[in-house]
């Protein structure tokens, strides 16, 4: 596993977000346990709507975040597992079957069905981030956890293939290269967030993690312990900030401050009386202040949030997953907006809670509690690395972990044999 671990068995994870870039360093101790020894974050520059728009600015943010994490251990890291810095994620489902002929299923049957299923992935330029076995069936027996050793006639496999357009990934590679880092695996951000904050029960039952970022909103559906669906909506907290800035003719900085301090999704009679100050930017660039009822800020935010959750519900209904999604867990900076759980719950008609890291092995309190939402992507990457990359049995493994090249090779091999 030398390509995943740094010297001294160190895991390094990196989350390049629209608003901040975070890095955590940890030692894997056992499955599901990585002890944090360093962390750093830095304001992201050169990222818009979760994609890179300036290589040099993004490199600068990555270098700062990584350097502050390295500072804890006084060592340099070379390789990272990172969230994919992309604005578009899509799930494609692939199903395949294999004739077993009434004998016991073996590991080599699993390998074979995996390969033939992968060969059915539509050939496009898109980058494959994940290729996750989400269901095995044997004849009429469905949701089999481990088919090895069971007897049957036909083995069926369903794969969830998470894809993203190629060019943003290449830009991300360029940023990492210029930051003198190699990347052993890119992970879809909603996948990482789900691993960070969903309980084992939630991952089994059917739960949606909604990652409310600055540039995009990520959606990940977990069921029977696997990520079965993943997508992104090109709407993030920055758009709420922009709406406040343009409605009240104030700067983006002021709008951001007003949103985080006074924003809410719950209209209240007291907000009609409560006044807040808004610095106005005039054409001559002089700044004056107006006072408005807080209710006006709330009325600006509410339609945007309502539209977002209606869209999430629509996407899940269209993909056929809404019925199995019993709970919703909100993460990312936007989950800190006052009243968002109540608003989401009324639109989604489901339980909604805020996500917090399920487990954090941080004996020295390197990550302060108030920063958990910012580090959620990285915390999930730690879980992904220690659990999925290093410890998952082969029949459940995300098969892209060995790199897309393998999948491409299999496709080429099957196409040409």
Ligand X SMILES: Nc1ncnc2c1ncn2[C@@H]1O[C@H](COP(=O)(O)OP(=O)(O)OP(=O)(O)O)[C@@H](O)[C@H]1O
Q: How far is the CB of 380 from ligand X (least distance, A)?
A: 12
Report CA torsion sign: 52, 371, 60, 77: negative
Q: CA-CA distance, 88 to 86, in Å (whole number)?
A: 6
- Of the two residues 206 and 220, which places its CB atom closer to ligand X in the complex? 220
Size of the site for ligand X (CB under 6 A): 24
The answer to whether 213 and 237 are in contact (CB under 8 A) is: yes
70: exposed, middle or buried (C-beta count within 10 Å: 0-12, 13-18, 19+)? middle
DSSP string, 176-222: HHHTT-EEEEEE-HHHHHHHHH--HHHHHH-EEEEEE-SS-EEEEEE
Residues near Mg ion (CB under 5 A):
17, 213
Is 18 an interacting residue with respect to ligand X (CB under 6 A)? yes
Q: Is 334 in the site for ligand X (CB under 6 A)?
A: yes
User: With CB under 6 A as the contact rule, which of the stretches 131-139, 201-209, 211-219, 400-408 interacts with ligand X?
Assistant: 211-219
- Residue 333 touches which of ligand X, Mg ion, none (CB < 5 to 8 A by kind)? ligand X
Least CB distance from residue 189 to ligand X, whole Å?
Answer: 6
Choose from Mg ion, ligand X, none: what does 380 bind? Cβ within 5-8 Å by kind: none
Strands 327-331 and 351-354: parallel
CA angle 324, 330, 336 (to 5 degrees): 160
- Considering only the C-alpha atoms of the chain, give the largest distance between any 2 of them, rounded to a whole number of Å: 82
Tokens of 181: 């880092």
Question: Which residue's CB is nearer to ligand X, number 66 or number 407?
Answer: 66
Q: Which is nearer to ligand X, 129 or 134 (CB)?
A: 129
User: Residues 262 to 291: which contact ligand X by CB under 6 A?
Assistant: 263
Site for ligand X in 43-62 (CB under 6 A): 50
Contacts of residue 342, Cβ cutoff 8 Å, sequence gap at least 6: 265, 266, 352
* 161 DSSP 8-state letter: E
* Contact (Cβ atoms closer than 8 angstroms) between residue 208 and residue 325: yes
Which span (126-134, 136-144, 253-261, 267-275) binds ligand X, by CB under 6 A? 253-261
Nearest approach, Cβ of residue 332 and Mg ion (Å): 6
CA 70 to chain centroid, in Å, comes to 24
Judged by beta carbon distances under 5 to 8 A according to partner kind, the member of ligand X, Mg ion, none in contact with residue 238 is ligand X
Our finding on whether 332 is near ligand X (CB under 6 A) is: yes
**17 and 30 Cβ atoms separated by less than 8 Å:** no
Q: Least CB distance from residue 210 to Mg ion, whole Å? A: 12
**Whether 23 contacts 14, CB under 8 Å:** yes
355 makes contact with ligand X (CB under 6 A): no
Binding track over 89-128 against ligand X, x by CB under 6 A: ----------------------------------------
Contact 114, 133 (CB under 8 A): yes
40 in contact with ligand X (CB under 6 A): no
Smallest distance from ligand X to CB 258, Å:
10
CB of 60 to Mg ion, least distance (A): 19
Cβ nearer to Mg ion, comparing 17 with 220: 17
Report what 256 binds from ligand X, Mg ion, none; CB cut-off 5-8 Å by kind: ligand X
Q: Does 357 bind ligand X (CB under 6 A)?
A: no
As beta bridge partners, residue 182 has 79
Specify whether the CB–CB gap between 230 and 220 falls below 8 A.
yes
3-state SS record for 250-294: CCHHHHHHHHHHHCECCCCHHHHHCEEEEEEECCCCCEEEEEEEH
How far, in Å, CA of 165 to CA of 170, rounded?
10
The residue among 38, 330, 299, 321 whose CA lies nearest residue 211 is 330
Min. distance of Cβ 188 from Mg ion in angstroms? 11
Q: Which is nearer to ligand X, 360 or 407 (CB)?
A: 360
256 touches ligand X by CB under 6 A: yes
133 sits near ligand X (criterion: CB under 6 A):
no
Given Mg ion, ligand X, none, residue 374, with its beta carbon under 5 to 8 Å by kind, binds ligand X
Region binding ligand X by CB under 6 A among candidate stretches 29-37, 161-169, 236-244, 359-367 = 236-244
Of residues 152 and 334, the one with the C-beta less far from ligand X: 334
Q: Which of 34, 84, 89, 337 binds ligand X (CB under 6 A)?
A: 337
Q: Residue 340: which of 302, 290, 387, 380 has the closest Cα?
A: 302
Residues forming contacts to ligand X in the complex (CB under 6 A) are 17-20, 50, 189, 213-216, 236-238, 241, 256, 259-260, 263, 332-334, 336-337, 374
């Amino acid at each position: 596993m030398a390509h995943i671990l740094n010297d001294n068995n160190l895991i390094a994870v990196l989350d390049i977000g629209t608003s901040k870039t975070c890095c955590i360093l940890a030692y894997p101790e056992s499955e599901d346990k990585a002890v944090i020894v360093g962390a750093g974050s830095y304001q992201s520059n050169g990222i818009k709507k979760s994609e890179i728009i300036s290589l040099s600015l993004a490199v600068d943010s990555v270098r700062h975040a990584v350097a502050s994490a390295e500072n804890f251990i006084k060592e340099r890291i070379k390789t990272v597992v990172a969230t994919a810095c992309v604005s578009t994620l899509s799930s494609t489902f692939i199903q395949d079957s294999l004739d077993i002929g009434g004998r016991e299923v073996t590991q080599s049957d699993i390998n074979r069905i995996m390969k033939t299923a992968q060969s059915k992935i539509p050939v496009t330029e898109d980058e494959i981030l994940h290729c996750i076995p989400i269901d095995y069936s044997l004849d009429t027996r469905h949701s089999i956890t481990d088919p090895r050793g069971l007897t049957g006639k036909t083995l069926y496999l369903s794969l969830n293939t998470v894809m993203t357009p190629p060019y943003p990934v290449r830009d991300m590679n360029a940023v990492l290269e210029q930051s003198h880092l190699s990347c052993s695996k890119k992970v879809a951000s909603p996948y990482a967030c789900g691993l960070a904050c969903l309980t084992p029960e939630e991952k089994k039952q059917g739960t949606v993690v909604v990652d409310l970022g600055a540039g995009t909103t990520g959606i990940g559906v977990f069921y029977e312990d696997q990520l079965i669906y993943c997508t992104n909506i090109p709407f993030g907290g920055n758009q709420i900030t922009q709406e406040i800035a343009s409605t009240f003719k104030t700067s983006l900085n002021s709008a951001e401050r007003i949103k985080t301090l006074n924003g809410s999704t719950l209209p209240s009679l007291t907000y009609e009386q409560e006044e807040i100050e808004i610095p106005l930017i005039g054409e001559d660039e002089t700044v004056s202040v107006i006072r408005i009822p807080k209710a006006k800020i709330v009325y600006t935010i509410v339609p945007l949030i309502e539209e977002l959750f209606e869209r999430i519900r629509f996407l899940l209904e269209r993909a056929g997953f809404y019925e199995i999604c019993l709970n919703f867990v909100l993460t990312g900076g936007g989950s800190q907006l006052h009243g968002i759980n109540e608003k989401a719950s009324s639109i989604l008609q489901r339980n909604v809670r805020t996500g917090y890291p399920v487990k954090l092995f941080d004996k020295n309190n390197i990550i302060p509690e108030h920063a958990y939402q910012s580090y959620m992507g990285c915390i999930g990457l730690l879980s992904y690395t220690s659990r999925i990359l290093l410890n998952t049995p082969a029949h459940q493994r995300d098969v892209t972990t060995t790199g897309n090249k393998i999948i491409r090779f299999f496709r080429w091999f099957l196409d040409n044999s």
